[in-house]
Amino acid sequence: MRPLRAIDGTSLVLPGWVSAHSHAFQYGLRGHTQRAPGETGTFWSWREAMFSLADSLTPESLAAVSRDAFRALYRSGVRCVGEFHYVHHPRGGGAYAQRTLLSDVVIEAALAEGLRVTLLRVAYARSSHGRPPEGAQRRFCDGDVDDVLRDLDALRSRWGADARVRVGVAPHSVRAVPREWLGPLDEYATRYALPFHMHVAEVIGEVESCLAEHGRRPVELLSEAGVLNERFVAVHATNLEPHEARLLGEARAFACLCPTTERDLGDGLADIAALREAGVRLCVGIDSHVVTDPVEEMRALETHERLRLRRRVTFAGAEGRTLAEQLLVEGSAHGALACGWDAAVRGRETAWDADTVVDLESAPLRGVAPERVLDALVFSGHPGCVRR
């Protein structure tokens, strides 16, 4: 981790925080999904509300909600976002005259709010095995993997000269993308050294459908398809078996946990101990923007594990770091690497050069001994500790 330095004794400069997984338009769901329909609320009922919002988007409304979401992230200390973008087409399907219009809108919104951005262009083909896209999903889906690759070419051509922008490849999930698409997408990402992100085992239903279609669990399928490597980012990884964590670790892959969203949706608690033991590199993402608090995302890597294991201090840190330092690395440098920043530094700590400045006079940190400031920030801090 890059050394920390105090400024005037009242500020602390940290490597800039990274939210490696975001759906900016879902900022518009705040307050709209917290009442259970009928007797119960599930991930799937939440998804219907999300689909309704996605179906209502125009380029103008997407720009507005994205700027709101990214402004909140920047003010909370985030300096780079991995935007997992899957609303590509007009309502009902088809294509805009400028096919990448909505991707460009999201990139421009992030830049306007001071963020660096990795646009993770999502590939989405179907509702699930044997089921074509339904309703709002028609805005997400392409008829052919070559359409996805052409859009990636266009995005790289348009934004490749901008030092604030990266482009990545993102098959949505094993449910939404057929196996035969994975090879061409992985080959493209490998050719251009692009990050490769994918929702993996977020909910039990995804695991069950993968077993039904392929006779394999999601990570087993991805390993067999040859797409696991050091650029692969398994988003959520909530419902893995220990051997799947080992497959990710053997590939030097990342797992991007999104704790505030995962608990909001009732996805479950990932086995973080198994991921750490396997050598999987961890990072965090805001995902659905239900809460804008990057400190909470970082500390939940530890506090959620305490809940799962029913004990305190489940991890001692790594490579000579304290636990708080480790969580800050995962909330900054690991997220930057996962999103393709400083990608030449493979297998080593990144020299991630964005800054987040923390106010040592903020209430959670005032009066804390210097050697305990990072512990206080990670386990008691909040976005109000960030200097704007």
DSSP of 262-280, one letter per residue? HHHHT-----HHHHHHHTP
Q: Hey, what amino acid is at 167?
A: V
pLDDT in tens, the chain (388 residues): 455 667 778 999 999 999 999 999 999 999 888 876 654 577 878 888 899 999 999 999 999 999 999 999 999 999 999 999 999 999 999 999 999 999 999 999 999 999 999 999 999 999 999 898 888 999 999 999 999 999 999 999 999 999 999 999 999 999 999 999 999 999 999 999 999 999 999 999 999 999 999 999 999 999 999 999 999 999 999 999 999 999 999 999 999 999 999 999 999 999 999 999 999 999 999 999 999 999 999 999 999 999 999 999 999 999 899 999 999 999 999 999 999 997 443 444 445 788 999 999 999 999 999 999 999 999 999 999 999 7
d(CA 13, CA 355): 6
d(CA 77, CA 229): 30
Domains of the chain: 5-380 (3.20.20.140)
Give the ranges where 57-124 is alpha helix by DSSP (H). 59-75, 101-112
Report the predicted TM-score, pTM, of the whole model to 2 decimal places.
0.95
Q: Which of 104, 142, 287, 293 is catalytic?
A: 287
353 catalytic, yes or no?
Answer: no
d(CA 176, CA 85): 14
Whether residue 173 contacts residue 202, with contact meaning beta carbons closer than 8 Å, is answered with yes
Strands (E) across 153-261 are located at 165-171, 196-200, 232-236, 254-257
The pLDDT of residue 9: 83
Q: Hey, what amino acid is at 66?
A: S
236 catalytic, yes or no?
Answer: yes
Q: 317: phi > 0 → left, psi -120 to 50 → alpha, else beta; which?
A: left
Bridging pattern class, strands 232-236 and 196-200: parallel
The pLDDT of residue 300: 98
The pLDDT of residue 42: 78
Q: Which of 21, 236, 289, 334 is catalytic?
A: 236
